[in-house]
Every structure is written in C-alpha cells, then in structure tokens.
Copies of this chain bind each other. A is one copy, B any other.
Amino acid sequence: MASVTTDTDVADDDIRPMRADARRNYDKLIAAAREVFTERGSEGSLDEIAKRAGVGPGTLYRHFPTRDDLLDALMRDWTERVVADAEAAVSADISPRKTLEQWFTAYIGHVTLHRGAAVKLSAAMDDESSPMYRKCQTLISANEHVLDDLAGSGALRSGVEARQVMRLISGVATFADSTGIGEDEVTPMLDIVIDGILK
C-alpha cells in the first residue's frame, strides 16, 4: 500500500531508473498490450501480448505481476486528460445542461478505453487494493470539481451527491461498453440523468 522505496510520499508512477533492455521491453509490452486490448478487450491473451512484444512470458510477469498492473500502466497520461476535460467543461461558458453533457461524454470516453475497461474501472473505484484505485480518485475529484462548480451557481437539485452521479455515469459507460451503442444512443440516457440532477 505505502511506497517502500522512498521516505517521502511521492507519486508511484515517477520514472525509476531501468536498464536499457528492460525499458525497451517495458515499452514494447505496453504498445503490444494497447493493441491486443483494443482488439480483444481487457481479457485479451497475455501470451499474445508477450508474443507481439517479442519477449518471453516471464518478462511480462516481471514488469506487470497482474493483468491490472498492465492496464494501469496503459493509462499513463490518462489522468491529465481527465483533469483537462473537467476543467474545459467548467470553464466553457455554456449552460449547466451543456456543461454536464460535455463532461459526461468526456467521462464515458475516458472510461471506455477499450472493451471491458469500463467495468474494471467501476470496480476499481470502490476497491483500494486495485492498481487503478489512484487513477479513479482523480476521476472522482474531477467529477466533484464539475458538480461543485454547478452547485456554486445554484443549478443543482438539493441532495444530489457527486458520488452517486459518478456511479450513474459509470453505469451508463458500462452499458454502452457492453452493448456497443454509440454516442448518439448514449445522449438520451444522459439527458434523463441530467434532468434528475439539475433544478
């Protein structure tokens, strides 16, 4: 849980020194994983990933002890993009409804990295032991940021909690993910939720 390598509480994903060949394999594995997960979803074969990266299966396990560690590593620059999109929705000078539509759509986009990702991330939101738990925390903050802003301008129905909204949108994302419906089919679902959120 706590970092063992340092005494200060720095981020886990800083660049630790790595032997040149290790670094190369690490990068090749991530690239291969991105490919395979995109094609086959988050249950894509780890064997296949190692094969495409041109390394032995053991190398994959050395770098990523579990499948979720690999998925987590895939999301390196993910948090920045999430934060940026939340900020964009807040600072755009548009109606509360439009703000939520924009943010939720971005949210769903981020969470449906590839088939099966949405369920995994939903589960990770409530599971501290998941490697992706930290990333989900950023998503939670970003969502709170957007809702707090709307609350500030008095647009929110009383009693609406960010956590519940988050779970609802995750549910929508998971549904979209597993059925393969597109953005045009998602918007009507979001509209109902938004009606439930706004005054």
Distance to closest chain B CB from A35 (angstroms):
24
**Size bracket of the A interface:** 20 to 34
Chain A 57-77 interface mask (CB, 8 Å, partner B; 1/0): 000000000000000000000
- Cα distance, A161 to B197, chains bound together (Å): 18
Distance to closest chain B CB from A138 (angstroms):
18
Distance to closest chain B CB from A185 (angstroms):
8
- Cα distance, A127 to B157, chains bound together (Å): 37
| B175-A189 in contact (CB<8A) | no
Q: Point out the residues of chain B lying under 8 angstroms from A179, CB to CB.
A: 122-123, 125-127
Chain A 110-122 interface mask (CB, 8 Å, partner B; 1/0): 0000000001001
| A161-B178 in contact (CB<8A) | no
- Cα distance, A170 to B179, chains bound together (Å): 11
Judge if A131 is at the interface, Cβ distance under 8 Å. Answer: no
Judge if A106 is at the interface, Cβ distance under 8 Å. Answer: no
Distance to closest chain B CB from A124 (angstroms):
9
| A189-B174 in contact (CB<8A) | no
* Residues of A near any B CB (own CB < 8 A): 119, 122-123, 125-127, 157, 159-161, 164-165, 167-168, 170-175, 178-181, 188-189, 191-197
